[in-house]
Amino acid sequence: MDFLNKFNVNIKDKELLLRALTHSSYSNEHNCDNYERLEFLGDAVLQILISDYLFNNMDLSEGDMSKTRASYVCESACAKYAEVLNFKPYIRVGHGQLNNINDTIVADIFEAIMGCIYLDQGLDAARSVFEQVVIPCIKNHSIFLGDYKSKLQELVQTTKKSLEYKLVGESGPAHDKVFEVEVTIDNIIYGRGSGKSKKEAEQKAAMDAYNKQARL
């Protein structure tokens, strides 16, 4: 479990790190601790680090800071941060979960690892990983989709028209699929998107439709 070495972090308590990588399906089978408590702590650590970053680097109102922070700590964002850490090969899940290590689990474990770093090394070490992993992603604004599905839904509701997402394509090997989705409003295509998960593809399709400011 040396994936943190390249970020100059050496966790002393290896059992704590192992717990951060352990899903409840595994702990139920093996009667051991899982990442859920560490996830709770890591979420708080991530919130304070992002809040500090936004306060000191972006001239935003309180409301806009709250919305921006929410997009930076959402599931899809944390799953992106997890890709940078590259800890997926070390995740422990139960037999029934082996083929379903989805973005939700990966995002939760990212937060658990931040909690682990905080407990073992302190806030400065957590901030160092944050600066190496999260801030570069923040500066690449395109990965933060926000919840465009909700925005589009609100827009469509005012017109009482039907909104539907259709999976129109899949490509790539089973372990690295790319999904393509179209969003239709009253059976007219308004947006398209692709992503590593159906959820990501749907958000990108919704963003495409929303940003076109379609006349609904």
Q: Catalytic site residues?
A: 43, 111
Q: Which among 197, 177, 157, 165 has a CA at the least distance from the CA of 76? A: 197
Surface-to-core class of residue 82, CB atoms within 10 Å of its CB (0-12 exposed, 13-18 middle, 19+ buried): buried
Report the Cα 28 to chain-centroid distance in Å.
Answer: 25
Whole-number Å distance between alpha carbons of 142 and 145: 7
Q: Hey, what are 118's tokens?
A: 């905080």
Whole-number Å distance between alpha carbons of 205 and 192: 4
Which amino acid, residue 7?
F
Backbone phi, psi, residue 161, to 5°: -95, 165
Which amino acid, residue 79?
A
Decide if 198 contacts 188 (C-beta within 8 A). Answer: no
Surface-to-core class of residue 143, CB atoms within 10 Å of its CB (0-12 exposed, 13-18 middle, 19+ buried): middle
